[in-house]
Amino acid sequence: MIDLRLLRENPDLLRASQRARGEDVGLVDSLLSADERRRSSGTRFDELRAEQKRLGKLIPRAQGEEKTELLARAGELSQAVKAADAERETANAEAGELLLKLSNVVHPDVPVGGEDDFTVRETHGEIRDFEAEGFTPKDHLELGQALGAIDTERAAKVSGARFAYLTGVGALLELALVNAAVAQATAAGLVPMVTPALVRPRAMEGTGFLGQAADGVYHLAEDDYYLVGTSEVPLAAYHLDEIIEADRLPLRYAGISPCFRREAGSYGKDTRGIFRVHQFTKVEMFSFVAPEEAENELERLLAWEKQWLTALELPFRVIDVASGDLGASASRKYDCEAWLPTQGRYRELTSTSNCTEFQARRLQVRMREDGRTRPVATLNGTLCAVSRTIVALLENHQLADGSVRVPEALRPFLGGREVLEPVAA
């Protein structure tokens, strides 16, 4: 959530941010009004309670008519205090509810617009000319089936659309990617962590996934648990309600987890293969830093993502995501998009977001410095979303005979394999 002092001192900044996101600008004014009622009702409650305490001290010493008047006044005050308390609680609840609906403040350098209004920050790698090589590239599903690596037909029988079995070298490729990503992360000083896949509502709400993103989340109503769509959620909540000493920062983690997404609203999109699925494995980076270090940390996470994609020898570009395409928690977000030859376009493989103090305020994660506490900043960055990475690897490294070259950096994690060969029919 945003800092209420920012709301009071610079509401125009919040209005501009909401406008840039394409979200309700009136929410800012509603929250301002609710905050004023919350503060005024709190002040009235405190004044009435102070008078009530004062009377409580006078009554035992009073006599006769004076005592009768004081007792009568005490009775009136008791009712007034109850009413003020109820008004205060109502105003607090209303302000709190509105505050949870307000998205993070957009960074001033973020391009304004919708999904297609991003700006390209940089481009890396060479796009192969398959025509010059003398063959037409196959898509990842055709390659994966020939390799005995991907089985969507049996998965559809068992689980439905947007599921897959990774078999044979497909399973080995997933494990290799996870191990290689974790090896890079630990070499960079991140602490590896296998995280829970089920979380309580506070963790999901605290990271901002029960607002605009709620339709994409699986909820187990009977137990009131949520299946995570990213280990960002349990990683952000790892220090829930804690105060971290400043000299321990930054804290950096690499979460390994299954991820579950309903993919609501994606009907008809990427229905072939494993690019957009309901379940996948991911290695996610997460940082807790002092707020003044957040922008530098965003660049650091992005650099690690670029290192990873470069090691996999994938052509990719980095985009600065437009304001209307940001998640509620993100102030700024960079996506790394890999080139997919059979689609003739770049597609998102990783992303990294600066959530400033937004999540930490919700989750009550604070830092202590010079005897004072304040919220930390949180940042997240995908290192490897496995299924999408497999898509990009198969398509970009395929050979004319249907085999797939293994990037050199991945070979030690695949038992030294240099090429993945098609299996006999």
Determine how many CB atoms are found less than 10 A away from the CB of residue 59. Answer: 14
- Provide Rg for the chain, Cα atoms: 27
Q: Of the residues 348, 374, 403, 405, which is catalytic? A: 348
- The string of DSSP codes covering 162-204 is T--EE-THHHHHHHHHHHHHHHHHHHTTPEEEE--SEE-HHHH
**H-helix or E-strand spanning residue 227:** strand 225-227
- As given in the structure block, the two tokens for residue 381 are 């960055």
> Which entry of 323, 388, 395, 417 is annotated as an active-site residue?
388
What is the rounded CA–CA span in Å between residue 408 and residue 34?
A: 59
Residue 398 corresponds to which tokens in the numbers above? 């395929």
- Active-site residue 388, yes or no? yes
Report CA dihedral (248, 252, 292, 210) to the nearest 10 degrees.
Answer: -120
Residues 6+ apart with CB under 8 A from 345: 339
Annotated active-site residue 369? The verdict is no
Rounded distance between C-alpha atoms, residue 282 and residue 385, angstroms: 4
Catalytic, 368? Answer no
The three-state DSSP-derived secondary structure of 385-423 is: EHHHHHHHHHHHCECCCCCEECCHHHHHHHCCCCEECCC
Catalytic residue among 276, 300, 332, 417: 276
Adjacency order of strands within the sheet including 345-354: 119-124, 316-320, 332-340, 345-354, 377-385, 279-289, 251-260, 191-194
Known catalytic membership, residue 351: yes
Contacts of 236 (CB under 8 A, 6+ apart): 203, 206, 207, 286, 359, 363, 365, 378, 380
CA-based torsion, 167, 253, 205, 30: positive or negative: negative
The Cα–Cα gap between 421 and 417 comes to 10
Whether 272 is catalytic = no
CA 419 – CA 170 distance, rounded (Å): 13
What is the distance between the alpha carbons of residues 99 and 362, in angstroms, rounded to a whole number?
Answer: 10
| Active site residues per annotation | 261, 276, 348, 351, 388
